[in-house]
Amino acid sequence: MSIPQSFIQELLSRVDVVDIVGRYVQLKKGGANFMGLCPFHGEKSPSFTVSPSKQFFHCFGCGKNGNAIGFLMEHAGMGFVEAVQELANQCGLQVPQDDISPAERQRQAQQKQKAESLSDLLEKAGESYCKHLRGAPKAIEYLKKRGVSGEVSKRFGLGYAPAGWHGLASVFPEYDSPQLEEAGLVIVSEEDSRRYDRFRDRLMFPIRNVKGECIGFGGRVFGDEKPKYLNSPETPVFHKGRELYGLFEARTALRDMGYALVTEGYMDVVALAQLGFANAVATLGTACTPEHVQKLFRFTEAVVFSFDGDGAGRRAARKALDAALPLATDTRSIKFLFLPSEHDPDTFIREFGTDAFARYVGDATPLSRFLIEAASEGCDLGQAEGRARMASNARPLWSLLPDGVLKRQLLSEIATLAQLNSQDLTDIWAQETARTAPMARRAPAAPTHQQAPEWDAPPSNWDNAPDWTEPSAPAQHAYQPQNSGGNWAGRKEFGRPRKPWGKKGEDWNPPQLGPRPTPVSREDQAARLLMCHMEFMEEMTHEDFDALARCNESHAPLFRWLEAQFTESGPRSWALLREQLQGAPCEALATKLMSSGTHSQPEGEIDELRKEFRGTLNQILVVHFKREEGKALKEIATDPTAARRYIEFQERRKKLSVIISTTS
């Protein structure tokens, strides 16, 4: 979605950054500004200021700063478009969408209306469940047994679904509404179309998105019935592979405690919050996905996965490892905590105390060590065969890591365990990659026959040359000069018969040369890589998106469209993107980039493509910084902050230029 800059300026003029920030941070008046504890890092004395005159926030402790849109992006984990829409809704403004077709605009409006309608139904159902909890002794007794107070129960919106088949009929007069089924609240029997409540006689856990909207439920039984946990189905507003239970409630604690604790169940999250670990979240009955990890890294730079120490816990941890590896940059911390098989986090804390659990978390297994353990599983490192198997197991895991210090250190550690040097190991891995790569991606083998020289005229002594044909050459590449007075009628070059010599230029018809291909621009290559591997967007910063969205008039709309698709639905394949592009203004450019030229449809190892994309993006950022320097330079006379911005952009451009020169 392309949002005009004029609309953004009008939007920022209508909202009050003090009001927006004040909903998340307790602010106190201090002179001309407002002061509070920074929500982006833990601190005891306030260094976070909000300026009503400049409509700007700034933390002198961690350096975070920006306007109301930037605050929602940084604190609430929203994308740029999502933050703009959120503020526009609060002001009663309609976000202009001039760059999309009327049909697409109508489709988006319908989707938004449906999502709001479904969320309203779920909120209403949640309120009903909360009311029923007050009169459900069995549910209250269960919560007391788990040590959950009424305050924590209210904070998470816990409720109770009555045992009857049609409990929601008293909440929704139109119980036969199709939207109740679409929201996952009601099930319709395929046999007789009979309708009944999905959740019955269960403790209910509302699932909220990062904006606090109810998008689904989890229900837990009180005994040994199966399934123990029942989740809402996939709906237009609920996708369990992208959402984390408790993330909305844990946002502030994630900043304060400095890390996220990922557990396996709803009750773990609630119980940990009761016991002082309000930074806990849980996956929704599914394996941890890259989307889960990426969402957590919007709020913190450290994640600890907590699993049971049994086989199932180890398997779940391995899936989490696969999801986390592509996002394990040098500035992030990822650890794996394995509790004794007889304990979950709740029982461990109750038996050993919060300090013991905190120490256990601090001593959790780092990602680097867990990667080695996963690769070494079942391998006898005392034997050459075991070391070889370990090195082979480590290759696909190691290749998922983004390039950096951690990746290079791990290469050295793996090589040492395999009793090789790093260069030998990378050579062996490269050979293994070549053997297992699809045939279409392999480089063509060098021909075994001798290449024929290309002469401008036949040799003067050709008549005395003996007849010869190189026996090892393929038939189409055989060179068979005939003793025929210089007549080369029998010679073939690359499968084409060579014409006899005549006068200069008489029989030689050079091939028609088409126009020289247009050089591939940085923007072309970045767009192609993103359309082929949209998951690369998960590693992009807000500044990366901003640089692409402002790069040039031809490519910027395409990059903004891709960002909107990613924000709405996550990574998609090119086949799906091609369908969504129909009617979009950027369709022609995208189709041209993906269907023409020698570099369309980029191929290669995913790690190399990711590295290539980062390098291309860095070059675009350098141009972006230079452009911002120029803008700041023009504004120095009228804007007091322009000089500081000019120096910042200049320093960042120079640092990035050094990185580019050292990696190219």
CATH of the domain at 630: 1.10.860
Give the residue, 618 or 490, on which the prediction is more confident: 618
Q: In Å, what is the CA distance from 222 to each residue of 96, 238, 332?
A: 50, 25, 39
Please check whether residue 453 lies inside any domain of the structure.
no
What SS3 class is residue 422? Answer: helix
Give tens-digit pLDDT for 244-285: 999 989 988 887 888 999 998 898 999 999 999 999 999 887
What integer pLDDT is reported at residue 374 of this predicted model? 93
Residue 452: which pLDDT band, with cuts at 50, 70 and 90? very low
Verify that 169 and 76 share a domain, yes or no: no
Give tens-digit pLDDT for 569-626: 677 778 778 877 888 888 889 888 887 644 456 667 788 888 888 989 999 999 988 8
Question: What CATH number is associated with residue 272?
Answer: 3.40.1360.10
What integer pLDDT is reported at residue 151 of this predicted model? 92
What integer pLDDT is reported at residue 2 of this predicted model? 65
Give me the mean pLDDT over the 173-191 stretch. 91
Alpha-carbon gap, residue 656 to 628, rounded angstroms: 15
Is pLDDT at 311 greater than 90 in this prediction? no
Verify that 392 and 353 share a domain, yes or no: no
Is pLDDT at 11 greater than 70 in this prediction? yes
Residue indicated by tokens 């007549």: 487
Give me the mean pLDDT over the 230-235 stretch. 90
- Split into its structural domains, the chain has a count of 5
Question: What CATH number is associated with residue 192?
Answer: 3.90.980.10
Give tens-digit pLDDT for 540-574: 876 788 889 888 888 988 998 888 777 666 777 78
Q: In Å, what is the CA distance from 215 to each residue of 112, 115, 157, 481?
A: 13, 9, 13, 79
Verify that 255 and 335 share a domain, yes or no: yes
Is pLDDT at 465 greater than 90 in this prediction? no
What integer pLDDT is reported at residue 170 of this predicted model? 92
Verify that 297 and 261 share a domain, yes or no: yes
Question: What CATH number is associated with residue 85?
Answer: 3.90.580.10
Please check whether residue 613 lies inside any domain of the structure.
yes
Q: Which two tokens stand for residue 602?
A: 């980029």
Is pLDDT at 320 greater than 50 in this prediction? yes
Please check whether residue 473 lies inside any domain of the structure.
no
Does the N-terminal peptide bond of residue 511 adopt cis geometry, omega within 30 degrees of 0? no
Verify that 215 and 132 share a domain, yes or no: yes
What integer pLDDT is reported at residue 123 of this predicted model? 95
Please check whether residue 474 lies inside any domain of the structure.
no
Please check whether residue 174 lies inside any domain of the structure.
yes
What integer pLDDT is reported at residue 1 of this predicted model? 52
**CA-derived radius of gyration, the chain:** 31
Chain mean pLDDT for the chain? 81
Percent of the chain at pLDDT above 70? Answer: 83
Please check whether residue 289 lies inside any domain of the structure.
yes
Is pLDDT at 437 greater than 70 in this prediction? no
Host domain of residue 402: 378-431
Instruction: State the CB neighbour count (10 A cutoff) for residue 126.
Output: 20
Verify that 192 and 285 share a domain, yes or no: no
What integer pLDDT is reported at residue 244 of this predicted model? 93
Is pLDDT at 387 greater than 80 in this prediction? yes
Is pLDDT at 224 greater than 70 in this prediction? yes
Alpha-carbon gap, residue 627 to 624, rounded angstroms: 5
What integer pLDDT is reported at residue 128 of this predicted model? 95
Verify that 529 and 648 share a domain, yes or no: yes
Domain's final residue, options 342, 372, 402: 372
Alpha-carbon gap, residue 643 to 424, rounded angstroms: 51
Give the residue, 517 or 185, on which the prediction is more confident: 185
Give the residue, 98 or 474, on which the prediction is more confident: 98
Verify that 566 and 645 share a domain, yes or no: yes
Verify that 355 and 422 share a domain, yes or no: no
Q: Of the ranges 143-147, 178-182, 441-445, 484-488, which one carries the lowest mean pLDDT score? A: 484-488
Give the residue, 400 or 108, on which the prediction is more confident: 400
Please check whether residue 512 lies inside any domain of the structure.
no
Verify that 258 and 329 share a domain, yes or no: yes
Q: Nearest Cα to 40, choosing from 330, 251, 292, 250?
A: 251
Please check whether residue 477 lies inside any domain of the structure.
no
Domain's final residue, options 406, 431, 456: 431
H-only helix segments in 533-605? 542-549, 556-569, 574-580, 587-595
Verify that 613 and 632 share a domain, yes or no: yes
Domain's final residue, options 372, 401, 420: 372
Count of alpha carbons within 13 angstroms of residue 380, beta-carbon side? 4
Verify that 289 and 368 share a domain, yes or no: yes
Q: How many helices (H) and strands (E) does the chain have?
A: 25, 18
Find out whether 339 and 348 touch, Cβ atoms under 8 Å.
yes
